[in-house]
Amino acid sequence: MQSPSFATKRILIVATATVMEMRAAFPGLSRHVPVEHAWSRLGVSKGGLQGRPCGELILLVTGVGPVNAGISLGRLLGSLSTGSSGNASEPVGVLNLGVAGAFSLERLPLGTTVVTTKEIWPEYGLLTASELDPRGIGLAQGKADGEPVWDRLRLTPESCARQMGLDISGLTKAVGLTVAGVSGTPERAEALRTRYACDIETMEGFALAWTCSLIRVPFVQVRTISNLVGSRDAAHWDLNGAKQRLALVASALLGDIEGTPCPN
């Protein structure tokens, strides 16, 4: 079956940090999953994207961490704007899927699926002997809706999901915190939770959200809880369960997708 052809192709981007997470989310698309720092384009020929405002699906594996996430998504969005395939390509939005740690398993038990309403980057600013001051260097990262962004970025998942044709009404809302170094002790986890009132820890959320904010592309981050932040105790981990939940949530959001490869 031929892939859709439009004067302007409407594209939904699905981003994960790792190949493992992408394969977990889309077990039926395993042969189309790209390597890290790369993407694959699928013309949707059958399945859940029918009737939604897009004609293609792009699977992006960013690589782990905020630097990889920002660079990989920026490269992809830049390539779409150049129209290398001869047809204009307009991203309808970016859906970030993956696993995450929870700061409290009482609030967010293992396997819970969440959607983020705010992203925090606790590693930006001036580091003093006693604290990290996000305004300490006097330079904001930029502006969102006319307001300076320091270390926090408010998200609008409901309106973004509507623009992307996604139903997130049944998902638990959570505040995300993004780090380059994963919290490895209970003390570090508690310090972050106390200061930022955050619910989950990831390594890509802020970078992806900020990239989308700068170019005004809708963004939705959906994560499944795989572990307790700060704990290396096996009793506080269920990565396999979180991966299984990823497949369920991807199917609920997008349906059972079948597609044909398109040129990158």
- Provide the residue-wise pLDDT of the chain in tens; the chain has 264 residues: 233 333 456 789 999 999 999 999 999 999 999 999 999 998 775 544 545 556 789 999 999 999 999 999 999 999 987 654 455 578 999 999 999 999 999 999 999 999 999 999 999 999 999 889 999 999 999 999 899 999 999 999 999 999 999 999 999 999 999 999 999 999 999 999 999 999 999 999 999 999 999 999 999 999 999 999 999 999 999 999 999 999 999 999 998 776 666 655
Where in the chain are the domains? 8-262
For the chain, strand residue ranges (E) read: 8-16, 38-46, 56-61, 88-102, 113-120, 126-127, 132-133, 142-144, 147-149, 152-154, 172-178, 200-202, 219-228, 258-262
Is residue 35 classed as helix, strand or coil in its secondary structure?
Answer: coil
Is residue 109 classed as helix, strand or coil in its secondary structure?
Answer: coil
Distance CA 3, CA 7 (A): 13
Is residue 152 classed as helix, strand or coil in its secondary structure?
Answer: strand
pTM > 0.85: yes or no: yes
Residue ranges of the alpha helices (H) in the chain? 19-25, 66-82, 157-164, 186-196, 205-215, 239-254
Q: What class has domain 8-262?
A: alpha beta
Distance CA 176, CA 96 (A): 13
DSSP state of 29: G
For residue 247, the one-letter residue type is A
